[in-house]
Amino acid sequence: MSSPEQLIAEASKKTKKSSGLLSSFFGSSQESRYEEAADLYVEAANMYKLQRRSAEAGHTFEKAAECQKLANSPDEAANTLVEAYKAYKAEVPIEAAQCLEKAIEMFVKRGQFRRSATFKADLGELYENELHDAKKAIESYEDASEWYKGDSANALANKTALKAADLYCDETIQKYGKAAQVYEQIAKESLNNNLAKWSLKEYFLKAVLCRLADNNDYASANACLNRFLQWDPSFETTREYEFGVKLVDAVKDGDPSGIANASKNYDKFSRLDGTKVRILNKIKSNVVEVPDQVEEDFT
């Protein structure tokens, strides 16, 4: 069995331009040589995967994709770039992101928006969790949401939009007003959806929290509470509504201890997730600067 290095060397020879009567006579067109080279590169890349040499596998898949493009096989090239992304993902996430972006661009050109949306969501997760680039993650999630919606996949569209909204609350972004708009819009769209209706109180609460984090805007937060009651009267009976009312009153009164107490009482029954804790810390620090307590963990 040939080694991956031997296969790569053979593939490299295939990519050298052929000329003269003999190559024409035997029907060895440059396009077919690129196809043969691509197959060899793919074989080598898969051998690298078996050897757990992920970076080498990713780089070799990229070479295969380039040959497939030169052989006028854009669909195969896009699929091979996805394989490069998968190979790179664990060890070289920045290279993985670049490969996936190229693949998505090619899928979009072919009108494959549903598939592009799925990979855009994957790209968002890569930027969020591996590369810690909230801005690019938001852009990816929002593109995915738009493309899902265009394909009538509303549940997936909302899922990715919510991921973008959560990242608008990231300490490096802090666009709480934008996040509030997303939570409220999705809540409104979910009113008559039996599958999503159970999440309404979660969307309502996050919208209220973001309004409060947006420069102590307790008036807008209170208006949200009233509007949500009109949309869903049962909201008044929930812990989320009670929590929201207490927070609005505490912000209005400039009472940071009231914010902390309300948060701790709520957390006893409904565990506060990381996004809510970050927003609550922002609300508390906006009310009054207490350097030693700004990062207080409400959980």
Q: Which CATH superfamily is domain 174-299 in?
A: Tetratricopeptide repeat domain (1.25.40.10)
- The answer to which of 97-111, 242-256, 280-294 has the lowest mean pLDDT is 280-294
* The pLDDT value given to residue 195: 82
Q: Which structure tokens are listed for 11?
A: 């593939």
* The pLDDT value given to residue 220: 97
Burial class (CB in 10 A: 0-12, 13-18, 19+), 27: exposed
* The pLDDT value given to residue 18: 61
Q: Averaged over 248-272, what is the pLDDT?
A: 95
* The pLDDT value given to residue 160: 98
Helix, strand, or coil here: 33? helix
User: Between the CA of residue 173 and those of 137, 146, 179, 192, 237, what are the distances in Å?
Assistant: 11, 21, 11, 32, 33
- Sign of the four-CA dihedral 134, 140, 142, 144: negative
What is the full DSSP assignment across 234-266?
A: GGGGSHHHHHHHHHHHHHHTT-HHHHHHHHHHH
**Torsion-angle region of residue 28: left (phi > 0), alpha (psi -120 to 50) or beta?**
beta
Q: Tell me: the pLDDT tens digits for 173-220? A: 999 999 999 999 999 999 988 888 889 999 999 999 999 999 999 999
* The pLDDT value given to residue 30: 86
* The pLDDT value given to residue 28: 56
pTM for the full predicted model: 0.89
Q: Which structure tokens are listed for 148?
A: 């899902």
Helix, strand, or coil here: 3? coil
The reply to whether 174-299 shares the fold of 1-108 is yes
* The pLDDT value given to residue 267: 96
Domain ranges of the chain: 1-108, 112-168, 174-299
Residue with tokens 């009113």: 191
Average pLDDT, the chain: 92
* The pLDDT value given to residue 71: 95
- With a pLDDT cut of 70, the percent of the chain lying above it is 92
User: pLDDT at residue 34 above 50?
Assistant: yes
**Segment (H or E) for 59:** helix 54-70
- Sign of the four-CA dihedral 125, 126, 127, 129: positive
* The pLDDT value given to residue 42: 97
Q: Tell me: the pLDDT tens digits for 40-66? A: 999 999 999 999 999 999 999 999 999
On whether the 1-108 domain is CATH 3.40.50.1860, my answer is no
